[in-house]
Chains A and B, each alone.
Chain A
Amino acid sequence: MKRIKRVFVANRGEIALRIVNACQELGLETVVGTSEADRDGLAARRADRAVCIGPAPASESYLRDDLVVQAALGTECDAIHPGYGFLSESPKLAARASENGLVFIGPPPEVIELSGDKLRARDEAARAGVPILPGKEIGPGDDARQAADEIGYPVLVKAAGGGGGRGIKLAKDGEELDSLLSLARSEAGAAFGDERLYLERFVANARHVEVQIAADQHGAVVHLGERDCSVQRRYQKVVEEAPAPNLDPATRNALTAEAVAFATAIGYRNLGTVEFVLDVDTGEYFFLEVNCRIQVEHPVTEAVTGRDLVKLQIHIADGNELGFSQNDVTFDGHAIECRLNAEDVAHGFMPSPGTLSLFAVPDHSHLRVDTHLCAGSTIPPYYDSLMAKLIAHAEGREATIDVLLEALEDLDIEGVETNRALLISVLAHEDFRRGAVSTDWLERAIV
Chain B
Amino acid sequence: MALSDEDVREILRIIDESALTELQIDTEGFSLHVRKGGGDAPAPIARPGKPPADDKPTPAEPATADGLATITAPMLGTFYRAEAPGKPAFVEVGARVESDTIVCIIEVMKMMNSVTAGVSGVIAEVVPANAELVEYGQSLFRVEPA
Chain A residues close to B by CB (< 8 Å): 36-37, 39-40, 51-56, 61, 66-67, 69-71, 74-75, 96, 355, 378, 380
The answer to whether A66 and B56 touch (CB under 8 A), given A52-B76, A74-B78, is: no
| A-B CB proximity, top 4 nearest | A74-B133, A66-B109, A52-B135, A52-B136
From the candidates B59, B76, B107, name the one contacting A53 in the complex (CB within 8 A): B76
Q: Is B77 in contact with A39, judged by CB distance below 8 angstroms?
A: no
Q: Is B56 in contact with A51, judged by CB distance below 8 angstroms?
A: no
Which A residues lie within 8 Å of B133 (CB)?
51, 70-71, 74-75
Which A residues lie within 8 Å of B135 (CB)?
51-53
Excluding A52-B137, A66-B111, A380-B56, 12 further A-B contacts by CB distance (< 8 Å) are A36-B56, A37-B56, A51-B76, A56-B56, A67-B75, A67-B76, A67-B77, A67-B108, A70-B76, A70-B107, A74-B77, A378-B54
For the complex, what is the distance from the CA of A225 to the CA of B50, rounded to whole Å?
55
Q: Indicate whether B57 reaches chain A with its CB closer than 8 angstroms.
A: yes
Q: Please, which residue of chain B has its CB at the minimum distance from the CB of A96?
A: B109
- Listed A/B pairs (14) with beta-carbon separation below 8 Å: A36-B56, A36-B137, A51-B76, A51-B133, A53-B76, A53-B135, A53-B136, A54-B76, A54-B136, A66-B109, A67-B108, A70-B76, A70-B133, A75-B133
Which A residues lie within 8 Å of B59 (CB)?
36
Min CB distance B49 to A, Å, is: 20
Min CB distance B10 to A, Å, is: 14
Q: Is A36 in contact with B55, judged by CB distance below 8 angstroms?
A: no
Min CB distance A282 to B, Å, is: 51
Q: Is B57 in contact with A70, judged by CB distance below 8 angstroms?
A: no
For the complex, what is the distance from the CA of A70 to the CA of B107, rounded to whole Å?
9
Which B residues lie within 8 Å of A37 (CB)?
56
For the complex, what is the distance from the CA of A53 to the CA of B4, rounded to whole Å?
16
Min CB distance B128 to A, Å, is: 11
Min CB distance B12 to A, Å, is: 19
Q: Please, which residue of chain B has its CB at the minimum distance from the CB of A55?
A: B136
Q: Which residues of B66-100 have CB atoms within 8 Å of chain A's CB atoms?
A: 75-78
For the complex, what is the distance from the CA of A175 to the CA of B20, rounded to whole Å?
59
Q: Please, which residue of chain A has its CB at the minimum distance from the CB of B132?
A: A74
Which B residues lie within 8 Å of A355 (CB)?
55
Q: Please, which residue of chain A has its CB at the minimum distance from the CB of B131?
A: A74
For the complex, what is the distance from the CA of A122 to the CA of B111, rounded to whole Å?
37
Q: Please, which residue of chain B has its CB at the minimum distance from the CB of A66?
A: B109
Which A residues lie within 8 Å of B57 (CB)?
36, 39-40
Which B residues lie within 8 Å of A70 (CB)?
76-78, 107-109, 133
Min CB distance A8 to B, Å, is: 12
From the candidates A39, A53, A69, name the one contacting B109 in the complex (CB within 8 A): A69
Give a binary string over B128-142; 1 marks a CB under 8 Å from any A CB, 0 the rest. 000001011110000
For the complex, what is the distance from the CA of A51 to the CA of B78, rounded to whole Å?
13
Which A residues lie within 8 Å of B4 (CB)?
55
Q: Please, which residue of chain A has its CB at the minimum distance from the CB of B4?
A: A55
For the complex, what is the distance from the CA of A39 to the CA of B57, rounded to whole Å?
8
Min CB distance A127 to B, Å, is: 36
For the complex, what is the distance from the CA of A40 to the CA of B57, rounded to whole Å?
9
Which B residues lie within 8 Å of A71 (CB)?
76, 133
Min CB distance B50 to A, Å, is: 17
For the complex, what is the distance from the CA of A40 to the CA of B137, rounded to whole Å?
14
Which B residues lie within 8 Å of A74 (CB)?
76-78, 133
Q: Please, which residue of chain B has its CB at the minimum distance from the CB of A39?
A: B57
For the complex, what is the distance from the CA of A354 to the CA of B136, rounded to whole Å?
24
Which A residues lie within 8 Å of B137 (CB)?
36, 52
Which A residues lie within 8 Å of B109 (CB)?
66, 69-70, 96
Pick from B54, B76, B107 the residue with the most CB of A within 10 Å: B76
For the complex, what is the distance from the CA of A66 to the CA of B138, rounded to whole Å?
18
Which B residues lie within 8 Å of A53 (CB)?
76, 135-136
For the complex, what is the distance from the CA of A404 to the CA of B4, rounded to whole Å?
43
For the complex, what is the distance from the CA of A71 to the CA of B134, rounded to whole Å?
9
Min CB distance B27 to A, Å, is: 18
Which A residues lie within 8 Å of B76 (CB)?
51-54, 67, 70-71, 74
Q: Which residues of B96-146 have CB atoms within 8 Å of chain A's CB atoms?
A: 107-109, 111, 133, 135-138
For the complex, what is the distance from the CA of A96 to the CA of B136, rounded to whole Å?
21
Q: Please, which residue of chain A has its CB at the minimum distance from the CB of B73?
A: A52
Q: Please, which residue of chain A has its CB at the minimum distance from the CB of B107?
A: A70
Which A residues lie within 8 Å of B78 (CB)?
70, 74
Q: Please, which residue of chain B has its CB at the minimum distance from the CB of A65?
A: B109
For the complex, what is the distance from the CA of A53 to the CA of B107, rounded to whole Å?
13
Min CB distance A378 to B, Å, is: 7
For the complex, what is the distance from the CA of A380 to the CA of B55, rounded to whole Å?
10
Q: Is A66 in contact with B55, judged by CB distance below 8 angstroms?
A: no
For the complex, what is the distance from the CA of A71 to the CA of B78, rounded to whole Å?
9
For the complex, what is the distance from the CA of A70 to the CA of B56, rounded to whole Å?
24
For the complex, what is the distance from the CA of A52 to the CA of B77, rounded to whole Å?
10
